[in-house]
């Protein structure tokens, strides 16, 4: 593996050098061999012990220059001028055989310049959670950071209780966040901002237009609109859409108090600190716009020498977000309903909303209800499926939906196949993630391993694995998840 560390070549104020803490007994919990091969890492011949030492920072891979990156961020609406990698270190960048560049970062490897009062460590729970969720997200087809490895440190960390510590290895197309721009903007460091913009464009959006700041904003808008509408089409709630947790590449990053919903509830929140529902399921669209406006604030001095003109130009980009988002959300929801061809229909949004209203009112499972819809598509003229409660709302939806499907004049088998390609059977359900974590804490990785296996094919039925398909019993339901500290 050859490192090529371009971020380390940026000016000194873009990073701080860092070394990992010494751990008692690093042990490999998981290593993602497929991902390692895709990245061209050539680690196949390494022993588990060597891998555990690499991916807990005990042994440095050749060419690695570990650094921690500064960033700022709005946390639940409040600006913090300096956050930064408080428990993470970037080992370096590698370029895969397809010439794509990726960061390899350790999370939980000890204190850095940016740790503030934190211990720089991770408990095993958040490591297991991020491993399962980020890989599941990838296999569901959503842009995301990925899990390369998880290592138990052999040491304890102190949270509400004492728990085993672990280190997570994350792969990302970069770790540049909206908050990275905010960090330099808050310091009035115009040179820093310019350098960061040039670097970001070169790394993520090289085909930029005549005004780099404006075309960069356009690209980030497109990437993040696509990301958040994709999350919502799968019932995903990120939970901490702070500006420091929004990557400019449009990848899902920072799996903290996040969750895939079971029962559909438009106002669902999981994070125990999100009392006002700022990051609820339905609020993710408006928050996306709010966050992108914070990025636009940083770009003012780069967009035009005349401040008024710059603001005008940036505002006209921001003004496109709500329509872009609404259209993309409708497109994705239409595909879930099998509406895959033909003209946009003015009533499609109503149809989608009536279905979601029905799910919400009857407290139905988001994922399974979409998947089961195909059972209604039979050739007889009056299909019925007893597994859906036959209310007036349901009948109205069903009639409108089946009529709309007839309009598009596609064979039912094709419609079903397309629906099954976007409506998963398996999602990382919270109660099972919890079970995987509880078992891992006592040294049993069986649920963790099996879940990772099942979630590699979320759209395909897998016999004898109903455990991972079913919804939680009332007593198993997880209503709160915690930040990944």
Residue among 74, 121, 170, 219 that touches ligand AMP (CB under 6 A) = 121
What is the smallest separation between the CB atom of 124 and ligand AMP, expressed in angstroms? 13
Which sign, positive or negative, has the C-alpha torsion 462, 466, 468, 469? positive
Cβ atoms within 10 Å of 99's Cβ, excluding its own = 6
The window from 115-123, 166-174, 282-290, 331-339 that contacts ligand AMP (CB under 6 A) reads: 115-123
Of the residues 85, 103, 244, 262, which is catalytic? 244
CB 106 within 8 A of CB 11: no
Q: Is 244 a catalytic residue?
A: yes
> Which string of x and - marks every residue 79-108 that binds ligand AMP (by CB under 6 A)?
----xxxxx---------------------
Looking at the Cβ atoms of 165 and 235, the one nearer to ligand AMP is: 165
How far is Cα of residue 408 from the mean position of the Cα atoms in its chain?
A: 33
What is the smallest separation between the CB atom of 85 and ligand AMP, expressed in angstroms? 5
What's the token pair of residue 392?
């007036």
How far is Cα of residue 205 from the mean position of the Cα atoms in its chain?
A: 20
**Phi, psi dihedrals of residue 95, rounded to the nearest 5°:** -110, 125
Question: What are the distances in angstroms from CA 349 to CA 53, 226, 328, 422, 424?
Answer: 52, 18, 11, 18, 22
Cα 430 from Cα 428, distance rounded (Å)? 6
Looking at the Cβ atoms of 120 and 338, the one nearer to ligand AMP is: 120
Q: Which does 195 bind (CB under 5 to 8 A by kind): Mg ion, ligand AMP, none?
A: none
Eight-state DSSP code of residue 483: -
What is the smallest separation between the CB atom of 141 and ligand AMP, expressed in angstroms? 24
Residue among 120, 192, 212, 285 that touches ligand AMP (CB under 6 A) = 120
Q: Does 404 bind ligand AMP (CB under 6 A)?
A: no
CB 250 within 8 A of CB 226: yes
Looking at the Cβ atoms of 18 and 333, the one nearer to ligand AMP is: 18
Looking at the Cβ atoms of 82 and 211, the one nearer to ligand AMP is: 82
The window from 114-122, 130-138, 272-280, 329-337 that contacts ligand AMP (CB under 6 A) reads: 114-122
Q: Which residues pair with 252 in a beta bridge?
A: 144
Q: Which residues bind Mg ion (CB under 5 A)?
A: 245, 254
Cβ atoms within 10 Å of 24's Cβ, excluding its own = 10
Residue among 21, 135, 251, 254 that touches ligand AMP (CB under 6 A) = 254
DSSP 70-82: ---EEETTEEES-
Footprint of ligand AMP (CB under 6 A): 83-87, 115, 118-121, 240, 245, 254, 256, 483-485
Active site positions, annotated? 244
């Amino acid at each position: 593996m050859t490192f090529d560390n371009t971020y380390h070549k940026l000016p000194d104020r873009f990073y701080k050098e860092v070394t990992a803490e010494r751990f008692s007994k690093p042990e490999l919990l998981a290593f993602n061999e497929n991902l390692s091969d895709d990245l061209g890492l050539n680690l196949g011949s390494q022993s588990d012990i060597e891998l555990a030492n690499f991916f807990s920072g005990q042994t440095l891979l050749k060419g690695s220059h570990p650094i921690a990156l500064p960033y700022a961020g709005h946390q639940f609406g409040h600006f913090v001028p300096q956050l930064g990698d408080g428990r993470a270190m970037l080992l370096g960048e590698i370029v895969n055989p397809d010439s794509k560049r990726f960061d390899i970062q350790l999370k939980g490897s000890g204190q850095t310049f940016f740790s503030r009062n934190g211990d720089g460590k991770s408990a095993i729970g958040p490591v297991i959670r991020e491993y399962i969720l980020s890989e599941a997200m990838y296999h569901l087809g959503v842009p995301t950071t990925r899990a390369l490895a998880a290592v138990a440190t052999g040491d304890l960390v102190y949270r509400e209780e004492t728990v085993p510590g672990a280190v997570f290895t994350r792969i990302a197309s970069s770790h540049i966040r909206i908050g990275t721009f905010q960090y330099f903007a808050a310091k009035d460091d115009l040179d820093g901002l310019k350098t960061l913009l040039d670097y970001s464009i070169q790394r993520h959006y090289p085909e930029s237009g005549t005004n780099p700041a404006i075309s960069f904003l356009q690209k980030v808008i497109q990437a993040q609109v696509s990301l958040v509408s994709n999350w919502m089409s799968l019932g995903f709630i990120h939970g901490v859409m702070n500006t420091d947790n929004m990557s400019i590449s449009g990848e899902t990053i920072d799996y903290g108090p996040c969750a895939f919903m079971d029962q559909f509830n438009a106002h669902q929140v999981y994070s125990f600190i999100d009392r006002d529902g700022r990051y609820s399921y339905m609020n993710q669209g408006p928050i996306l716009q709010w966050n992108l406006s914070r990025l636009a604030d940083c770009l003012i001095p780069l967009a035009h020498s005349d401040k008024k003109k710059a603001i005008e130009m940036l505002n006209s980009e921001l003004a496109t977000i709500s329509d872009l988002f609404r259209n993309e959300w409708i497109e994705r929801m239409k595909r879930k309903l099998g509406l895959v061809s033909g003209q946009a229909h003015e009533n499609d949004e109503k149809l989608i909303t009536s279905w979601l209203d029905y799910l919400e009112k009857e407290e139905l499972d988001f994922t399974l209800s979409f998947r089961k819809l195909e059972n209604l598509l039979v050739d007889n003229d009056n299909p019925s499926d007893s597994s859906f409660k036959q209310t007036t709302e349901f009948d109205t939806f069903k009639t409108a939906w089946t009529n709309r499907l007839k309009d598009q004049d596609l064979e039912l088998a094709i419609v079903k196949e397309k629906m099954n390609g976007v409506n998963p059977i398996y999602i990382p359900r919270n109660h099972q993630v919890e079970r995987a974590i509880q078992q891992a804490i006592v040294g049993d990785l069986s649920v963790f391993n099996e879940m990772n296996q099942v979630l590699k094919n979320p759209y395909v039925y897998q016999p004898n694995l109903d455990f991972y398909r079913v919804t939680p019993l009332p007593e198993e339901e997880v209503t709160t998840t915690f930040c990944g500290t």
